[in-house]
Chains A and B, each alone.
Chain A
C-alpha cells in the first residue's frame, strides 16, 4: 500500500516528503517506546505509527533506518522535527485519529504487522 493510500485511509496529511508519497509501505510497527523501536531488525519499507511526537521520535527513525512515520492524534510536528526528517529523506504523515483507530483501519485494509 502506498503512503498516499494510507494517508487517505486515515484522513491524514503529508507534512514532509510529499515527493515520496508514492512509496510502498510493507508493514507497520506501532509504539511510543523508542527503545522498543530500536530493537527492530528488519525495517525495509516499515512505517512507524506513534503518538510520541518530538525530536527523539524522528532521531529514533534516523538511527533505525525507518523512512516513514505516521503521527496520531494530530500532535504538533515542530519545524526542527521536519528539518531533521527532510535531512534524512523521511516522510511524515499526520492523522487526527487515535492510535487504536488508526491501527484498526490500516490492519483491516491489509497492512501487516512487522511481527
Chain B
C-alpha cells in the first residue's frame, strides 16, 4: 500500500498532521507500539524539518508485509554539508522555528537513531530527500 501527503514550508499549524495520520494507520494494521513510536518520531522530525527549513515537500509512505519505507522529498535550500548537519547541536533554525520549540539541532540524529536504514540526499538550491525504512520485526 502506498500513500502520499503534502507539506507546506512555514506551516506550523499543520506540521505533524502527516505523522499523526501515519501513526493511526500503523497502529490500525497492528504494528507493535515500539516500532510505531520509532517510526513516527523519525517521520515527525523529518516532517518538521520540511516545515522549518524548506519551502514545500511531499511524503511518500510505502507499506509492505515486513517494513515501512518513508520518503520525504522537499523543494528548499538543501543541506550544504550533510555530515555537519547530522552532528548533534548543529542548527540554522530561525528565531520563529526556535519559538515553536525546535532548533536544538537534534532532529537528524534523532531520525538516525529511530530508523533501520537511512539515506539522505541533498542538492543546494534545489532540495533534500530523506528516505528511511523500519522493519516490523527484529532482523
Contacts and interface: CB of A to CB of B under 8 A. Distances in A.
A61 to B, nearest CB: 11
Contact of A64 (B13, B41, B107): B41
B113 A56 contact: no
Interface SS of A by simple majority: helix
A35 B102 contact: yes
Contact of B44 (A32, A33, A36, A59): A59
Interface string B32-57: 01000100110011001000000000
Interface residues of A, number: 19
A40 B100 CA distance: 19
Interface residues of B, number: 23
Contacts of A52: 100-101
A57 interface: yes
Given A38-B44, A64-B37, A56 B16 contact: yes
B104 interface: yes
Contacts, number: 67
Nearest to A37: B101
B44 A63 contact: yes
A34 B101 contact: yes
A57 B113 CA distance: 21
Given A38-B41, A38-B45, A56 B19 contact: no
7 contacts: A34-B104, A35-B45, A36-B106, A38-B44, A55-B13, A62-B16, A63-B19
